[in-house]
Structure 1
Amino acid sequence: MRSLPDLLRARPHAEVLILGGDSVSYGQGLLNMTWRQALLEEVGSQLDLKRVHFLGKIPYTNFLKMLQISSAHIYLTYPFILSWSMLEAMAAGCVVVGSRTAPVEEVILDQENGYLVDFFDTDALVRIVASICSARESQAQIRLAARQTILDKFDLKRHCLPKQIALLEQGIN
């Protein structure tokens, strides 16, 4: 949210879609307000809210369609678990800009299958996302590499399920 004023200035025709509810699923919430309220209080006056769309929770199929047409998926986590949404974005061939934190770095190789930025570096985030948006066609190799990473390492039938079954079988023996 803190990067949005600069990003919207850099990309005057960009539309920003923000997904998810206002409840806190992980980590700490704020007293008497949501994170959205707090950040809108902080930077909302600098935003063109006609171009920033809070979609809330949307059906999974709509989420996938959104990823497929998006220029970039911003995935910032400070450090915490890796979310399924980042893997889904990569599987959908979306360019992911993720935070340079341990769980994200396990999957994204900077400038190979996505991009990494320091969590608090809003200038770098704006620079990278604006660059991706201005040359969307040039991101084809990153998109393909992102999808291939998911197929090679996270495919349910070829990788994840066999590993889970093997772990269960080890526990039985």
Structure 2
Amino acid sequence: MRILFIHDNFPAQFGGIGFWLRAKGWDVTFATAAEVAESPDLRLIRYKPHRAGSRETHPYAQAMDRAAINGQGFVRAALAARDQGYRPDVVVAHSGWGPGMFARDVFPDAAYVAYVEWWYSYPGADVTCLARLEGRDFVGSVEAPMYERARNAPIAMDIAAADAVLCPTEFQAAQFPPLLRPALTVQHDGIDADFYAPDLDASDAGDRRSTLDGLVAEDARVVTYATRGMEPHRGFPQFMAALPAILAADPKAVAVIAGENRVAYGGSSLRGTDWKAKALAELPIDPARVHFVGRLSRVHYRRLLRRSDAHVYLTVPFVLSWSMLEAMSVGCALVLSDTAPVREFADRASARFADLADPATIATAVLDLLTNPADAEALREQARATILDRLTIRDLYPRKAALFQSLAAR
């Protein structure tokens, strides 16, 4: 079986299944726009847009303009590969940025699978929640509905061309219009529960109470937070607002925050704010007890989760982070935002819930876990059990492979 994964980033969502298929003997190729992408075991097709989108394009059509230029970049690279004899049986493309829009035209004999994450609506569930968190009603421009609807054009093109459409969660699938929803197969990417496990190995000296790279004391109670970007979509301001009460109530509590100081989601008003600097300037936070450790390797990230006494994951109604599910797999004692995407995988048997609009509830839930280790241990066990029951790559990867094979056979 020859399979081609297309994603602007590398390896992104397709890395795990791609390397697993390669180990099973499949011929695996990645097409990517990532400038830094190396893999000795995989064929890489590199593409890039020949120019940026034009500001002269009608504002409603600018998302489609950028996607079409990106798709053209893929076409040029893919045609060169085809001229050299490359023919995939299955093409799987991340939808929205455009690289897979014309893959069906380049490889008409291949089965085409669109991987979709979000359908833009107005007002979106995420932006209305953000407005509520700021204590205001959501107010958009007259043209905002048109902008949002037009952003779906590349996604709609992918769905129209696809033999199958994959979406990782029920909540994300529910954002799609009723006419398209039956076309979606909900199947998560899967969690490597063997790697993200509570059991210790040679790479983690000591045990859960061991010092984290000499950063925290052995008897410290560690509150962890891990994020790609420190931003409102992931409840970073609310987490920071909860810290003073946590640190004041428990003298042994420290916070360790992993991730980059950037904004990955939202418009210019959100991206123009340094949320870390804002929190540190406005809140009475002891810098000796709040540690920012930056972006971590997988091994160091797992070590952080294993050391955690209470792990906080917060999100507005939006795409669910893998990090929450990885923390569940490690067996973290979790404090979660009481929002729809979170509720799809966690309940009160596996986590404590907090109101994202009220940082005091976050602090209360964290302190409850720190002072009730027996209750925390029960949550840890159930969180791990949920992942083992529903989301392991041991179960999901063979199902994905069977789907790809059945599509190719048609």
Alignment TM-score > 0.5, same fold: yes
- Equivalent residue for 2:401? 165
Unaligned runs of 5+ in 2: 1-239
Partner Cα distance (1:166, 1:121) in 2: 45
**Alpha carbons 1:108, 1:116 under 8 Å: kept:** no
Partner Cα distance (1:20, 1:135) in 2: 28
Partner Cα distance (2:303, 2:266) in 1: 28
Superposition map of 1:12-161 within 5 A = 12-28=251-267, 29-31=270-272, 33-43=273-283, 46-110=284-348, 112-158=349-395, 160-161=396-397
Q: Kindly state the Cα deviation for residue 34 of structure 1 after the two structures are TM-superposed.
A: 1.6
Partner Cα distance (1:138, 1:118) in 2: 20
Which one has more relative contact order, counting CA pairs under 8 Å at least 6 apart?
1
**Alpha carbons 1:75, 1:99 under 8 Å: kept:** yes
Q: Kindly state the Cα deviation for residue 93 of structure 1 after the two structures are TM-superposed.
A: 0.7
Q: Kindly state the Cα deviation for residue 2 of structure 1 after the two structures are TM-superposed.
A: 0.7
Partner Cα distance (1:90, 1:155) in 2: 12
Partner Cα distance (2:249, 2:340) in 1: 29
Give me the identity figure in percent.
Answer: 36
Matched, 1:3 2:239: no
**Alpha carbons 2:263, 2:271 under 8 Å: kept:** no
Q: TM-score, normalised by structure 2?
A: 0.39
**Alpha carbons 1:91, 1:146 under 8 Å: kept:** yes
Q: Kindly state the Cα deviation for residue 121 of structure 1 after the two structures are TM-superposed.
A: 1.6
The structure with the greater share of residues assigned to helix is 1
**Alpha carbons 1:108, 1:115 under 8 Å: kept:** no
Q: Kindly state the Cα deviation for residue 136 of structure 1 after the two structures are TM-superposed.
A: 2.1
Task: Assess, with a 3 A threshold, how the Cα gap between structure 1 residues 169 and 119 changes in structure 2: closer, same or farther.
Answer: farther
Partner Cα distance (1:42, 1:169) in 2: 55
Q: TM-score, normalised by structure 1?
A: 0.90
Partner Cα distance (2:355, 2:261) in 1: 24
What residue identity is the alignment partner of 1:30? R
Q: Kindly state the Cα deviation for residue 72 of structure 1 after the two structures are TM-superposed.
A: 1.1
Unaligned runs of 5+ in 1: none
The structure with the greater share of residues assigned to strand is 2
Partner Cα distance (1:167, 1:106) in 2: 24
Task: Assess, with a 3 A threshold, how the Cα gap between structure 1 residues 140 and 35 changes in structure 2: closer, same or farther.
Answer: same
Whose radius of gyration is greater, 1 or 2? 2
Q: Kindly state the Cα deviation for residue 41 of structure 1 after the two structures are TM-superposed.
A: 2.1
What residue identity is the alignment partner of 1:88? E
The structure 1 segments of at least 4 consecutive aligned residues displaced by more than 6 Å after TM superposition are none
Deviations 1:46-95 (A, max 9, x none): 11110000111111101111111111110000111111111111111101
SS of the aligned residue for 1:39 comes to helix
The size of the alignment, in residue pairs, is 168
